[in-house]
Structure 1
Amino acid sequence: MGLRQFFLALLLFIFFLLPLAVHQRWLDVPPRWDPWAPLDIGAQPNLLTPFKLWRLKQDPLLCRQALDSSPLSYMPLADSEPQANCPLENTVRVQGSEVRLSNSFIATCPLAAAFAMFERHGLQTAAQAVFGQQVARVEHVGSYACRSIAGSQRQSQHASANALDIVGFRLRDGRHISVRRDWSKPGEEGEFLRQVHRAACDSFNTTLGPEYNAAHRDHFHVDMGLFRMCR
């Protein structure tokens, strides 16, 4: 076998035969490395996490299994079309978690699961590293809005409750961190927000912050759209 044939056989094994063997249970692997196992939000994210999040899109039962592995408090919602051309499918109302929320919000299952992962593996890690304490409250300005992207005819991820705009955080000691006020501030507040932005990029498909454009100067936009972007 030549070198080219060897690498082709190796790629075939990695991308087809190995997943097939795991799916058919011919090969036993730990759940976190099994692409067909339900997403465990408490487990450390790995290369399979985006695929497991993607699987939640059309499978409400699998979604609830994932959310039940987190401290997220949520209520499943029936599919509906509350406004023209803005249907809601496989959504939940996120009511809280180990952090309080400024308000509950409607989210697609993948967005809710990504938020739970962001909270556990990114947000609280950043708060502990910078302030030596945890975030007690996440402040946001909503998720669902039946509209197009500003200056475009393309529908926003908000139109399907697949996006969330986060404006600030309150720490356990009562200190308030604002994206608008503190993003460019030197010291702990600015460093914390930059760490949070990087953590959001790891958890969500798209994260847009104050350096993206003027429309995002006061919040982090996070969503689970098709394309990955970290700006």
Structure 2
Amino acid sequence: MHKLTALAIVLPLLLPIPVGAQDLLGPLEDLVDQITRPAPAPQRPQAAAPKPAEVAPIPRPRPPDLPDSPDVVQPAAPAVTPEAEAEVEAAPAVEPETAAEPERMYQAACPAVLQGLVEAEMAPPLSEGICGEQSPLTVTAVLSRGRMVPLSSPVTTNCQMASALPGWVADVDGYAEAMLGSRLAQVDTGTSYMCRNRNNASDGFTSEHGFANAVDVTGFTLEDGRSIGVEGQWLPGPAPEGRLLRLAHDAACGGFTTVLGPEANAEHKDHLHLDLGCHGQTCTARICE
């Protein structure tokens, strides 16, 4: 019924339309169907799904302005005048100063000191022209037959000489007790380290004294108070004191490479010179005079 009612309303409007317009009836019927179709029931709106929380993007670090960036304005270089250029060219080149490194000093412990064969202390390194010793010792006493025999004055020498002294002193100590009835109370010492030539000459080879490799002994003092000196008692040889000094000279030839006494030359008339100098191509030759 509703469809006929709507058609009755629309049909009079089509009467004045020419016959060719009757082709429009089909679309009009569709229009009528849309008008007369009941309206659909309203639908309840559904709740919208919650949107995920948006995370603010982390800003990317801005790259540093490069020198060649067009946005960076470089300061203008100061103008160089011809006078300034001439001064720069005339100025001498300045070399950078370098601090001089101090020379390293090496010292080593001496076995004779560690074993108690000598009483000694390490001394500062010696350096005097061609002379010197890296690890000198200041020796004050040597071990002889279970006791320390002091030196009349400390001697500055190297470890090799310090190590050779105790055995020799022990030999002399035994001779003194056997021949003179009294042990050694002291070894009377003379020159040790001294930078000079051999025999105090103005030229020639450097003495072993200059390398802390030699010791001079002027005599011995016994426990009974007697003093036996090389200068005054080397002669007469057969006397007990002269024999002790000659035995001391000969015993030294077994432990040192150079032994010089009053019969060597006038320079040694008042002492025995002992050293460990090198003689011969293999440093095994000995001088005993």
TM-score, normalization by structure 1: 0.69
Deviation string, structure 1 residues 68-114 (Cα, Å, up to 9, x no partner): 33441001224331x22212122211012321211111101101111
CA distance in structure 2 between the aligned counterparts of 1:144 and 1:212, rounded to whole angstroms: 21
Where has structure 1 moved over 6 Å in runs of 4 or more?
none
Are 1:201 and 2:253 an aligned pair?
A: yes
Larger Rg computed on CA atoms: 2
Give yes or no for contact 2:112–2:118 (8 Å, CA) kept in 1: no
CA distance in structure 1 between the aligned counterparts of 2:162 and 2:182, rounded to whole angstroms: 24
Gaps of 5+ in 2: 1-105, 143-147, 280-285
Aligned match of 2:151 in 78, 101, 107? 101
Higher fraction of helix: 1
Deviation string, structure 1 residues 27-67 (Cα, Å, up to 9, x no partner): xxxxxxxxxxxxxxxxxxxxxxxxxxxxxxx9934xx2233
Which SS does the other structure have where 1:103 is aligned?
A: strand
Aligned match of 2:211 in 149, 160, 163? 160
Q: Which residue of 1 aligns with 2:101?
A: none
Give yes or no for contact 1:60–1:109 (8 Å, CA) kept in 2: no
Q: Which moved more, 1:105-114 or 1:147-156?
A: 147-156
CA drift of 1:128 comes to: 2.0
Q: Which residue of 2 aligns with 1:115?
A: 165
Are 1:69 and 2:133 an aligned pair?
A: no
What is the number of equivalent residue pairs in this alignment?
A: 170
CA distance in structure 1 between the aligned counterparts of 2:278 and 2:175, rounded to whole angstroms: 27
CA distance in structure 2 between the aligned counterparts of 1:196 and 1:216, rounded to whole angstroms: 15
CA distance in structure 2 between the aligned counterparts of 1:87 and 1:187, rounded to whole angstroms: 40
Q: Which residue of 2 aligns with 1:86?
A: 131
Aligned match of 1:171 in 201, 222, 233? 222
CA distance in structure 1 between the aligned counterparts of 2:218 and 2:126, rounded to whole angstroms: 28
Aligned match of 1:138 in 187, 193, 200? 187
Residue correspondence of structure 1 range 51-62 to structure 2 within 5 A? 60-61=108-109
Which SS does the other structure have where 1:99 is aligned?
A: strand
Gaps of 5+ in 1: 1-57
The Cα RMSD (Å) is 1.8
Aligned match of 1:223 in 271, 275, 280? 275
Q: Which moved more, 1:107-116 or 1:69-78?
A: 69-78
Give the aligned residue type for 2:249.
Answer: H
Percent of pairs with identical residues:
34
Q: Which has the higher contact order (CA 8 A, sep 6+)?
A: 1
Give yes or no for contact 2:172–2:244 (8 Å, CA) kept in 1: no
Deviation string, structure 1 residues 175-223 (Cα, Å, up to 9, x no partner): 0101011001232101111111111111211110111011111110000
